[in-house]
């Protein structure tokens, strides 16, 4: 199911996986990150993964860089990029957030790795739920 937010589309690919496609030319702000949080709390319950589809070019404000991905229940992020500029932006964001030790992986959309990104997320979420059971 596809949902329109003020800056892009959020598509529920599974009950615990959301694809995020931001509009062309947007600079994600802290307010937009908060809008994401409201969406996640309304539509995703428990552990979830995000498939960030960077088919469009966009940037992040400094404040957004510091808070993006800090969502309750977020277990894995798959980034799919389509240009060297987009790949560099993702790598920079990962460096900025290195302290958080994100569970993330980067995939090339030009090499048709979108499906691999989805499979990786499914695996990471399944592993996450198995680990939860082990420690109970």
Task: Report pLDDT digits (tens) over 70-79.
Answer: 898 999 999 9
CATH number at residue 29: 3.30.750
* Separation between Cα atoms, residue 41 and residue 71, nearest integer Å: 9
The count of domains in the chain is 1
pLDDT at 54 over 60: yes
> For the chain, how are helix, strand and coil distributed in percent, rounded to 5?
40, 30, 30
For the chain, the average pLDDT equals: 90
Quick one: tokens of 114? 């979108």
| Cβ-Cβ contacts under 8 Å for 95 (sequence gap 6 or more) | none
Residue 99's domain comprises: 2-134
Task: Please give the pLDDT value at position 18.
Answer: 97
Count of beta carbons in the 10 Å neighbourhood of residue 72: 11
In the chain, beta strands by DSSP E: 2-5, 8-14, 17-22, 27-28, 48-54, 59-60, 74-81, 104-108
| Mean pLDDT to the nearest integer, 41-55 | 95
Task: Please give the pLDDT value at position 135.
Answer: 30
Name the pLDDT band for 130 (thresholds 50, 70, 90): very low
């Amino acid at each position: 199911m596809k949902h329109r937010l003020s800056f892009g589309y959020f598509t529920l690919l599974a009950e615990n996986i959301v694809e995020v496609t931001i509009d062309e030319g947007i600079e994600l702000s802290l307010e937009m990150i908060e809008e994401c949080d409201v969406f996640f709390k309304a539509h995703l319950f428990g552990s979830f993964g995000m498939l960030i589809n960077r088919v469009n070019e966009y940037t992040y404000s400094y404040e957004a860089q510091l808070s993006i991905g800090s969502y309750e229940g977020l277990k894995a992020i798959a980034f799919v990029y389509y240009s060297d500029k987009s790949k560099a932006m993702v790598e920079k964001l990962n460096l900025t957030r290195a302290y958080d030790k994100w569970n993330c992986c980067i995939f090339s959309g030009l090499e048709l790795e979108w499906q691999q990104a989805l499979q990786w997320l499914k695996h990471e979420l399944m592993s996450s739920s198995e680990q939860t059971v082990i420690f109970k």
